[in-house]
Structure 1
Amino acid sequence: MTDGPFRNAALPSRWKRYGQELVSDAASPEERTMHACHSMIGSVDMKAFNPLFDELKAHAGRAQMDLDPGTMVETIFDNHAPSPLADALQRHLIANLRDQMSPDKALGEALERTAKEWIGITKNRLDEECIRARELGDMSREEYRKGIERNRETFAAIKPNELCNALATGNKRAFKQAVQKKGGVDEGPEE
């Protein structure tokens, strides 16, 4: 991919396409939001995250409570591959368990907090890429202004519960259909 403001960025191609959408008037705010969600979910190694989350759900659903639920949860995390997303989930889940939440509620809230944190981190990373693109001359001042504003709008429109559902179910294709290009002759931007 050679076009777009992120062409020189060390980002996957899906994020480079998102960068093109930030500066293009052809993409609607909804399309940018769905593309961002699809790109976020696409960056998750579901083959590693799903077994971890499934084991945590099974543990949380057990009728018998552990004397120290945090220790068992830490053991579950230790038995799975680390990742930034898993680390955030672990941090939030352990904090919730220390606050004496039921394991099931603690897991649900931890996943929601993890999704919100992930949205914020990703938004900031893309803001940094806009700054870098402007400094490299890959974005004009006007494109930079538009890109930063649209990035803010995009990430403000993401519903954390939709990301949570995709993570909890392991549905890597949750947003795919929404970002596929419209192919019909009568399809076009909505007025």
Structure 2
Amino acid sequence: MTDGPFRNADLSSRWKRYGQELVSDAASSEERTMQACHSMIGDVDMKAFCPLFNELKTHAERAQMDLDPVGVVETIFENDPSSPLADALQRHLMANLRDRVSPNKALNDALENTTKEWIGTTKNRLDEECIRAREVGDMSREDYRKGIERNRETFAAIKSNELSNALANGNKGAFRQAVQKNADVDAGPEE
């Protein structure tokens, strides 16, 4: 990938494509939103996250309540690889359990809050990439203004429950079909 405002950024090709769509008038708001979701899910190491989430889910669905659900959950997290997403999930889940929320509700609420936090963090990271691209000359002043505005609109349009469901189900391809369909439409007719 050689064009677009993020061409020199240390980002995946999915995010570089998103950068192209930020400044392109040909990309719709919906296309940018699907590309952002696809890129976010693509950043997740599902091989590490899914076993952790499934173990937490199995624990939460057990009929018997633990005397110390916080301690059991801490042990689950200690035995699994750490990641920013797992760390956020742990923070939210532990807070919910300490508030004496039922384990199943605590996990569902923690996943939803983790996803909302993740959306906000990712939006801010891409705002910073737009700033950096403008500073190094990869983005014009007009494209910068357009990019920041469209990035805000894109992340405001993301449905956190759809991302949460993709995480809970380990569905790395949850948004791939929508992104692929849009890419096929952009390709135009074959000659």
**TM-score (norm. length: structure 1):** 0.95
Match among 181, 184, 188 for residue 182 of structure 1 = 184
Counterpart of 1:189?
none
**1:135-161: CA deviations, max 9, x gaps?**
001111100000000000000000000
**1:97-155: CA deviations, max 9, x gaps?**
00000000000000000000000000000000000000001111100000000000000
For 2:90 and 2:112, the matched residues in 1 are separated by 12
For 1:140 and 1:55, the matched residues in 2 are separated by 48
1:171 aligns with 2:156: no
1:71 aligns with 2:80: no
For 2:13 and 2:172, the matched residues in 1 are separated by 17
**Alignment length (residue pairs):** 186
Secondary structure at the counterpart of residue 184 of structure 2: coil
Q: Which runs of 4+ in 1 moved over 6 A?
A: none
Point out where structure 2 has 5 or more consecutive residues left out of the alignment.
Answer: none
**TM-score (norm. length: structure 2):** 0.95
Question: 2:129 corresponds to which letter in structure 1?
Answer: E
For 1:14 and 1:185, the matched residues in 2 are separated by 21
User: Root-mean-square deviation (CA), in Å?
Assistant: 1.0
1:139 aligns with 2:136: no
For 1:177 and 1:89, the matched residues in 2 are separated by 27
Question: 1:182 corresponds to which letter in structure 2?
Answer: D
For 2:159 and 2:9, the matched residues in 1 are separated by 27
**Identity, % of aligned pairs?**
80
Question: 1:107 corresponds to which letter in structure 2?
Answer: L
**1:4-54: CA deviations, max 9, x gaps?**
101111111110110000000111000000000000000000011000000
Question: 1:108 corresponds to which letter in structure 2?
Answer: N
Deviation of 1:182 (Å): 2.0
Deviation of 1:185 (Å): 4.7
Deviation of 1:2 (Å): 1.4
Counterpart of 2:44?
44
Point out where structure 1 has 5 or more consecutive residues left out of the alignment.
Answer: 187-191
Counterpart of 1:54?
54
Counterpart of 2:111?
111
For 1:185 and 1:164, the matched residues in 2 are separated by 33
